[in-house]
């Protein structure tokens, strides 16, 4: 066993009125196939304990990041926001950063990390830049001399379920992949932090484990789990 990986999930209320948490089982399956133990976070107040117990953190996909978090007011363009999840994940993020443990962001997780480090988002891509990235498969251009380049080459087809996207990058975040917006490779689809143990992707690698229509993304999870064994994420020049 390679250790324990903490995963965040959706917070919702059941029909009976109970507060609950949920996680797409593909996330847990990806971690399990890397011979690591998947754990679900359910309490931001226990963030320090989680960071002490787990070896890495995966911020998963889900609800929109509230525009208020990055100085915008276009809440009507968001399909669903989750302030309680925002609060919990920010607490976990701070604790894992303090513990100097690796963090992987996926879709919403990438967006939360970008905002945390001072970046901004497009609230609704189809309105803001005339491109829709919802429910589609598209190509990304990958920085060749990077960990993603090592794993997947200079180009890859990825899935896409997001309607928000990176507008400006946060501090010390280095782009690793781009997709086209208005005919140019301008929309950041992945980044690494230059000083912290953080990597994030806009697509959903947990839904790309069989390699049927897109590259198998299990190597990304394996690489991340390997980093939790003691080696830090090494940003590539």
Active site includes 206?
Answer: yes
Residue of 111, 89, 79 lying closest to 40 (CA atoms):
89
Which residue is catalytic, options 124, 133, 163, 204?
204
Which residue is catalytic, options 34, 89, 107, 189?
107
Rounded alpha-carbon distances, angstroms, from residue 66 to 84, 115, 120: 11, 10, 11
Active site includes 204?
Answer: yes
> Which contacts qualify for 95-101: CB closer than 8 Å, 24 or more apart?
95/47, 95/48, 95/50, 95/51, 96/6, 96/50, 96/51, 96/56, 96/57, 97/196, 98/48, 98/51, 99/51, 99/52, 100/197, 100/232, 101/51, 101/54, 101/55, 101/56, 101/57, 101/197, 101/228
Which residue is catalytic, options 124, 163, 189, 206?
206
| Catalytic residue list | 107, 204, 206
């Amino acid at each position: 066993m390679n250790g324990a990986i903490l995963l965040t999930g959706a917070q919702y209320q059941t029909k009976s009125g109970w507060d609950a948490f949920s996680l797409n089982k593909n996330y847990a399956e990806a971690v399990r196939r890397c011979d690591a133990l998947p754990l679900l976070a359910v309490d931001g107040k226990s963030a320090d304990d989680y960071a002490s117990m787990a070896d890495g953190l995966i911020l998963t996909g889900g609800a929109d990041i509230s525009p208020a978090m990055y100085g915008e007011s276009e809440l009507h363009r968001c399909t669903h926001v989750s302030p309680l999840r925002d609060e919990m994940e920010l607490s976990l993020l701070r604790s894992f950063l303090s513990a100097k443990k690796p963090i992987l962001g996926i879709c919403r997780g990438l967006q939360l990390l970008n905002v945390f480090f001072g970046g901004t988002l497009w609230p609704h891509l189809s309105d803001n830049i005339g491109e829709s990235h919802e429910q589609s498969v598209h190509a990304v251009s990958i920085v060749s001399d990077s960990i993603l380049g090592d794993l997947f080459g200079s180009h890859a087809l990825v899935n896409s379920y997001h309607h928000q996207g990176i507008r400006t990058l946060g501090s010390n975040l280095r782009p690793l992949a781009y997709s086209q917006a208005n005919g140019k490779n301008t929309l950041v689809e992945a980044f690494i932090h230059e000083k912290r143990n953080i990597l994030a992707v806009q697509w959903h690698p947990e839904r790309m484990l069989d390699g049927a229509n897109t590259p198998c993304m299990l190597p990304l999870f394996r690489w991340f789990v390997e980093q939790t064994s003691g080696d830090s994420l090494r940003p590539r020049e």
